[in-house]
A and B are shown apart, each in its own frame.
Chain A
Amino acid sequence: MLMLPGDASDQEIEELREQLGFNDPLHEQYWRFAYNAVQGDLGNSLYFNAPVMKIVLERLPASLELAIAAMLVALAIGIPLGIISAVRHGSMLDMGSMLVALFGLSMPHFWLGIMLMLFFSVFLGWLPTSGRGTLAHLIMPALSLGLPLMAMFARLTRSVMLEVLNLDYIRTARAKGLKEIIVISKHALKNTLIPLVTVAGMQFSAILGGTVIIETVFAWPGLGRLVVQAIFRRDYPLVQGIVFVLALIFVGMNLIVDILYVYLDPQISYTEDK
């Protein structure tokens, strides 16, 4: 990208460098970024010539909407699939759903997106190929982001559930004569949830990372597509700002996961003298 006319004089170039702060030592540039960032000022985008914070906040809801929808898809399909597989361990149902999960893990999500697009938009003409607005726009991007994660949740739920079902307290619950459905949904599921919450929290960042490609495929107006465009336009303040905000969200997610543990597992406590 050219920020000055091609025939700009050395003096003009020098003035711009000074104005953008490129002449200061690196640690000063970094300090200035950090100093401003904690006050909510991420600098100005070179391409849009507008504050990075404003642009990021405009695009953030679209990305979050997509990420949350994908997470819901993954959890809503993955966990039940894993539970059924564990309870009917070794059955055709188990093998079938694990085969689906294996394919889900082996498929690049952007290719899945393109295949969905080919099938539902080009062949059937049911769903719009790109853009954001209605629920119909959300279906394909959310599915393609969510299905690989669904596969992971299904496998994880199954393996944890299988372990839990072998524990003594489950045998006790069954010996008490409780209905199988209560044993599984009340007793076993609770202990299965802990590792799931960890992984779900960690994978939320993978989803945010995944939006980079999926948003490009479906022309979804979020941060992911913006960061790719910003990289190609060499709009470094914008790239830096987007990465900064996404990293913040990720750290925040980890904190929420840590707090959730305490509610899910009374054995975990963050107070020393307990």
Chain B
Amino acid sequence: MNEKSSGLLYITDEISPRLRLMADTFKEVARRPSALAGGVFLVIIILTSIFFPFFYSVDPLDVNLLQRFIPPAWQEAGSLTYPLGTDNLGRDILARILYGSRVSLVVGFAAVLVAEIVGIILGLISGYYGGKIDNVIMRIADIFNAYPFMLLTISVMAVLGPSTFNLILVLGISDWVTYARTIRGSVLSLKNKEFVEASRAIGTSHPVIIFRHILPNVISPLLILGTLRVGSIIIWESGLSFLGMGVPPPMPTWGRMLAEGRVYITEAWWLVCLPGFAILLTILSVNLLGDGLRDAFDPRLKNI
């Protein structure tokens, strides 16, 4: 803000501030080995989930009852045809885990995006206009908070019926409160600052003030908060899937693989171990990156 107010410095600066911010972000993250590891791993996971059909084009739905319960290749009874073994219907586990990664990543990131958008809009309105609107929005937030997240999602999913779109919508809408509260707080502390008053004085309309002048100043903690939430959302997605309320069959999901494998826990340990490792690795890398971003940019969020 200081740079913006002293116009000279702003103009002579050759690199655009946005680009510099991105470069700074990258530098800060790269300085922390654990965050860097998390980030690199997450990129690898995302790239794998997009491009794996070029390297491993096995149909995850291909049933082969003669090849049931083959253990992973490193076991004695395993074979290289099925690197991670097969399940109770002889389906290839590696292929199912790879397809499952798409579901978890898409639902995880999309739900956080929905939550961010709803939370940001409601938080901005609530903080900027104050008064009655603020009161209504914050009381709705209280109602959402008075309701265990898991119960809310499963009861709504039960009514709406399982589909990917519903899942993203339900997870996203259940999770907007934290974002709205955070952004409302920052807006409250900003809205009486000189630069907001100045633009109001020259007759700028409210929506322009909110989105052009206030939003860019309050959005960075929200992005960090979002990264921190992706992990929990993926856990809930796999949990709903485990209960049979997630993305509908036949699409393989990590949660459903665990639910199906649980029945054969005494015969085939790999059915319950491997999809869980996939979840663990994905969330571990998201969390490492999120922790690093938070420590670097917004230590105030430490307790969330």
Contact = CB atoms under 8 A, between A and B. Distances in A.
Most buried by B among A102, A160, A195, A254: A102
Interface in A218-268: 227-228, 231-232, 239, 243, 246-247, 250-251, 254
Contacts of B273: 115, 118
A60 interface: no
B151 A160 contact: no
Interface in B132-174: 146-151, 154-155, 158
B146 A108 contact: no
A105 B243 contact: no
B146 A110 contact: no
Interface stretch (B50-58, B184-192, B197-205, B264-272): B264-272
Contact of B150 (A103, A107, A212): A212
A168 B158 CA distance: 54
A217 interface: yes
Question: Which of A111, A118, A216, A217 has its CB near the most chain B CB atoms (within 10 A)?
Answer: A111
Contacts of B231: 105-106
A208 B155 contact: no
Give the secondary structure class of B's interface. helix
A156 interface: yes
Contact of B303 (A159, A217, A232, A251): A159
Nearest to A232: B244
A170 interface: no
A110 B231 CA distance: 15
Given A108-B238, A115-B273, A115-B276, A239 B148 contact: no
A114 B303 contact: no
A119 to B, nearest CB: 10
A210 interface: yes
Given A108-B279, A114-B276, A227-B154, A209 B303 contact: no
B288 interface: yes
B284 interface: yes
A117 interface: yes
Given A160-B303, A246-B151, A106 B243 contact: no
Contacts of A232: 244
Size category of the binding interface on chain A:
35 or more
Query: At the interface, is chain A mostly helix, strand, loop or mixed?
Result: helix
Given A106-B283, A111-B280, A231-B155, A118 B265 contact: yes
Contact of B148 (A107, A122, A209): A209
Contacts, number: 101
Contacts of B61: none
Contact of B258 (A111, A156, A206, A231): A111
A210 B150 contact: yes
B147 to A, nearest CB: 6
A212 B154 CA distance: 9
B147 A250 contact: yes
A97 interface: no
A255 to B, nearest CB: 11
Given A110-B239, A114-B265, A228-B243, A251 B155 contact: no
B82 to A, nearest CB: 21
Given A105-B231, A118-B265, A160-B303, A111 B279 contact: yes
Interface in B201-245: 231, 235, 238-239, 242-245
B146 A213 contact: no
Nearest to B276: A111
Given A102-B288, A114-B272, A250-B147, A213 B302 contact: no
Given A111-B280, A156-B303, A213-B239, A106 B151 contact: no
Q: Which among B158, B258, B291 has the highest number of chain A CB atoms within 10 Å?
A: B158
Interface string A4-25: 0000000000000000000000
B262 interface: yes
A212 B280 contact: no
Given A105-B231, A195-B303, A250 B146 contact: yes
B4 to A, nearest CB: 32
A108 B275 CA distance: 11
Contacts of A217: 262
A231 B151 contact: no
Interface string A102-144: 1101111011001101100010000000000000000000000
Interface string A196-212: 00000000011011101
B126 interface: no
B244 to A, nearest CB: 8
A70 B245 CA distance: 25
28 contacts: A102-B291, A103-B284, A105-B287, A107-B276, A107-B279, A108-B276, A111-B238, A114-B265, A115-B272, A118-B265, A118-B273, A159-B302, A159-B303, A209-B150, A210-B150, A216-B242, A227-B151, A228-B154, A228-B243, A231-B245, A232-B244, A239-B158, A246-B148, A247-B146, A247-B148, A247-B151, A250-B147, A251-B146
What are the 7 closest A-B residue pairs judged by CB atoms, nearest first?
A209-B150, A209-B148, A111-B276, A231-B158, A106-B283, A106-B284, A205-B148
